[in-house]
Amino acid sequence: MNEFTDEEKEILKPFFTNMDKSIFALTNLPEVVKGALFSRYSRSTKSLRRVLLDEFIKAPEMGFKEIVGFQEGQGVNQLVAIQKAEEFYDRVLVGYGDDSVAELGGASIAVEDISNICSKVIEDARIGISPLEKSTRYVFFNDKIDGKFRYYRDPETMNSKFAELYEKTCDMLFETYQKLSEPMMKWVMERFPKEEGVSDRAYAAAVRAKALDILRGILPVATITNVGLFGNGRSFEYLMTKMFAHQLKEVRDVAQSMHDELSKVIPSFVKRANDRYGMEAQKFLIETREGTKNMTENILNGMKSDSAEPVELVKWDPEAEMKVIAAIMYQHSHLPMKQLLKIAESMDEEEKKKIISEFLSRRVNRRQKPGRAFENVHYTFDILGNYGMFRDLHRHRMLTQERQDLTVRHGYDTPKEIIQAGFQKEFDEAMKIAADAFEQISQEFPKQAQYVVPMGFRIRWYFTMSLREVYYLTELRSIAQGHPDYRKIAQLIFQKAKEVHPNLMEFAKFVDMKDYTLERLSAEMKTDKKIEELKKKYGS
């Protein structure tokens, strides 16, 4: 790795498990520093090590020496301490036989230079792991390393007759993205000139976010990204077990690298991801996947889709109100649930509305979430939207979701701004070339062919979620600064839930049904105020 001088490597060495690999764990850093570091990392083109060096260690105002220095003064070396601690944890695990002990130890790890397909596999982890990924909204993706655009080159594809087609197609997509970046920024500024009272910083940030939101559909899902993760040992172990069983070599290779690095900091907690027990679990996952895949193909026998609706409500609970009302009363009574359900069923319409109102009417903002009574009602939504939109909504992990493989057969979304700015011809041409490449590669490499698909193409997935999660998702993802694509999905989910359960959805009053132009501007103006407050508090 030539990114750092020898002197810089010596400075950084205490804080990482290695200095020469793209996957590494963090050491000797307080949790507060890790959190701030990963937050900054998600909005930077720099590597995590470079962010730490340039923006923390070399920035006197960050107070890095004061925060971290006490450890050095005490002679603490985390890696040595870990080796001694491993014996203790092994004794606890053997003595008590409880896997939950592995939830008491956590680690932070950076996973860099992976594709957007691999990042989604990692972020499938539901609980126990907190991911933060490089944003397509704040960072341009047109930089090159050694003269090459930054996208994943799958070894199986690159060792096949499709290698030239794959690289040529991905290069074309990045070149189109690069070619349209400046003109699109210019068009956004012309269309939405800076208004009085808006700072240059806020306006520039909003313009950049708008332009990148419009253009991200051109990028292939092979686009290289970075993910920062914090999680407990048990969750990492299960995640890596699933990754070791994945069809794509990239995912399996990343699992091995993650296992190597996490074994340096939480070895006892992750060792079973790929030992005898782990391999048995991988075998189960692989054979189950292949068996159900073969049965599904035999049953469906080439059937075609009969719907292209962006959001379909395919299942809901006809007894929803009764269940919610019984659950509201449950914690305030000593009656069994069965009896409360009968009481709720016997109520008249006015009485039902009144108790629901008591439960929700005092909400003053979206952060005041409905109580757990709303978790007794569930909805299943089938969603068809572009991969960029899926990428954003995928972050809702406290629900049940499953996606299909990415294809080009559902078509793609063209942002209206592409048409208004006069770039539809270039956009459509790029999409057509990518679609042709996918069809060719998928004949022999159906899984690997996904890498070449641009994010503007549609993918199908479903959400099964409670009424409580419907409130949370629709109110959060419809906010003004959200990406217009996923805002539409959130609005449709709200509308369809309200059609079947108007009384229960009445108090989802923070769902924003309006359309906006320069989406990030109001949020950036709020950031300006926060910056000024910090200057007053801490000085420039």
The answer to whether the predicted template modeling score (pTM) of the entire model surpasses 0.85 is: yes
- 177's tokens: 């993205």
- 534's tokens: 């910090």
Name beta bridge partners: 115: 224
- Closest CA relative to residue 373, chosen from 401, 332, 345, 314: 332
* Three-class DSSP category at 405: coil
pLDDT band at residue 101 under the 50/70/90 scheme: low
Residue 506 burial (10 A CB sphere; 0-12, 13-18, 19+): middle
pLDDT digits (tens, 9 = 90+) for 494-519: 999 999 999 999 999 999 999 998 88
Residue 70 has pLDDT above 50, yes or no: no
Q: Which domains does the chain have, with CATH numbers?
A: 6-135+226-288 (3.30.1360), 153-218+416-447 (no CATH), 314-386+461-524 (no CATH)
Residue 182 has pLDDT above 90, yes or no: yes
Are the C-beta atoms of residues 340 and 518 closer than 8 Å to each other?
no
Name beta bridge partners: 151: 223
Q: Report the distance separating Cα 324 and Cα 464, nearest Å.
A: 17
Question: What is the pLDDT at residue 37?
Answer: 81
Question: What is the pLDDT at residue 66?
Answer: 67
- Where is pLDDT greater, at 81 or 283? 283
Residue 388 has pLDDT above 90, yes or no: yes
Q: Distances from the Cα of 376 to the Cαs of 195, 373, 493, in angstroms? A: 47, 6, 18
The 8 Å CB, 24+ separation contacts for 145-152 are 149/174, 149/175, 150/113, 150/223, 150/224, 151/115, 151/220, 151/222, 151/223, 151/224, 151/451, 152/114, 152/115, 152/117, 152/118, 152/222, 152/223, 152/224, 152/250, 152/451
Tokens 């906006």 — which residue? 516
Give the pLDDT mean for 324-337: 98
Q: Report the distance separating Cα 465 and Cα 381, nearest Å.
A: 9
- 502's tokens: 């108007």
Q: What is the DSSP letter of 189?
A: H
Question: What is the average pLDDT value for the chain, to the nearest integer?
Answer: 91
Question: What is the pLDDT at residue 98?
Answer: 56
Question: What is the pLDDT at residue 94?
Answer: 45
Residue 307 has pLDDT above 60, yes or no: yes
pLDDT digits (tens, 9 = 90+) for 346-359: 999 999 999 999 99
Determine the residue type at 292: T
Residue 92 has pLDDT above 50, yes or no: no
**Cα 428–433–436 angle (5° rounding)?**
120
Strands 224-232 and 129-133 turn out to be antiparallel
pLDDT digits (tens, 9 = 90+) for 194-215: 999 999 999 999 999 999 999 9
| H or E, element range at 526 | helix 521-538
Residue 39 has pLDDT above 80, yes or no: no
Give the pLDDT mean for 142-153: 93
Residue 46 has pLDDT above 60, yes or no: yes
Question: What is the pLDDT at residue 29?
Answer: 81
